[in-house]
Structure 1
């Protein structure tokens, strides 16, 4: 099977998932992973479809494979880091979730979704202070709510140390 065939079949499988046919997409993607075991894009899409189907434990090795090397573009890499971190969290593998999501935030510091999922994983590991700091800073920076913006300096100030009182 050629690389062009792979790209065409991958696009068809992604379309099936997007059109609400994840089982059919999964069958095609599993076949593609057999033919192209080192293809990061195939591994990423295979992981994603497993997540969609609620098969998180089965998604993990595909996410991990997709992140090896440099086979993914930036948007796919963001998605793979978020997907893997979130999946680890759902599976109760909180330390791995934090590690993966920290890596994602380090690579993509402007990604609010990665920051949000990291804050959830930090909460699960008992790191409540850092979790709240992340969320408060993100809220202050991204909210278009006029009341949040009115108090943005105070929110950012308190985010630095939530335990500080007068």
Structure 2
């Protein structure tokens, strides 16, 4: 398959998803992924198409293939934005499937790679909550709130929020 044909087929499938024609998009992407099993972008879009339809278990191998094909120190295959999306998608999908430890591991790695991404930190906090690590979950969310909130009352107490985020059991 030529690069032009690949690009045309991928764009058409993504366009179908964006038009709300998720089933048709998924069918086309599954077919394209079978023809291009080492294409990270096709694998990512195929995973996304499954997630949109609530087919999380079917999305996992596509996310894994997309991420295996491209890594922080490996060959390029996904843009930085798509890599972030694939990591968030895989971590969130693991959480949805009740695979909490895998969700935490995936999202911890993603946060280490993209430390300024608030969505990754938020999904990590949710996965930590699911594993029973409520203290770490609350700490992450309080830090994120203090750093990103534009609410004047939150900003007024930012230092206190940051302090208590480190030790929620502190009394002073």
Check whether TM > 0.5: yes
Deviation at 1:163, TM superposition (A): 1.3
Out of 100, 104, 107, the position equivalent to 1:98 is 104
Q: Equivalents in 2 of 1:51, 1:164: separation in Å?
A: 41
Task: Name the residue aligned to 2:15.
Answer: 15
Runs of 4+ in structure 1 over 2 Å off: none
1:112 aligns with 2:126: no
Q: Equivalents in 2 of 1:13, 1:69: separation in Å?
A: 21
Out of 135, 151, 154, the position equivalent to 2:157 is 151
Per the normalisation by structure 2, the TM-score is: 0.95
Task: Name the residue aligned to 2:74.
Answer: none
SS at match of 2:165: helix
Deviation at 1:19, TM superposition (A): 1.0
Q: Equivalents in 2 of 1:77, 1:131: separation in Å?
A: 24
For residues 1-166 of structure 1, what are the structure 2 equivalents within 5 Å? 1-70=1-70, 71-166=77-172
RMSD over aligned CA atoms reads 0.7
Q: Equivalents in 2 of 1:109, 1:93: separation in Å?
A: 23
Uncovered stretches (5+) of structure 2, i.e. residues with no partner? 71-76
Superposed CA offset, 1:88-134 (max 9, x none): 00000000000000011011111000000000000000111100000
Uncovered stretches (5+) of structure 1, i.e. residues with no partner? none
Per the normalisation by structure 1, the TM-score is: 0.98
